[in-house]
Amino acid sequence: EIVLTQSPGTLSLSPGQRAILSCRASQSVSGSYLAWYQQKPGQVPRLLIYGASTRATGIPDRFIGSGSGTDFTLTISRLEPEDFAVYYCQQYGSSPPYPFGQGTKLEIK
Q: Which residues of this chain interact with other proteins, rule CB under 8 A?
A: 1, 33, 35, 37, 39, 44-45, 47, 50-51, 56-57, 86, 88, 90-93, 95-103
Within 10 A of 6 (CB to CB), how many other CB atoms are there? 22
Least Å from the CB of residue 20 to other proteins: 20
Q: Which is nearer to other proteins, 13 or 47 (CB)?
A: 47
Give Cβ neighbours of residue 97 (< 8 Å, ≥ 6 apart): 1
Query: Which letter, b or e, does each residue of 16-29 get, where b requires 16 or more Cβ atoms within 10 Å of its Cβ?
Result: eeebebbbbbeeeb
C-beta of 19 vs 88, nearer to other proteins: 88
Q: Least CB distance from residue 78 to other proteins, whole Å?
A: 25
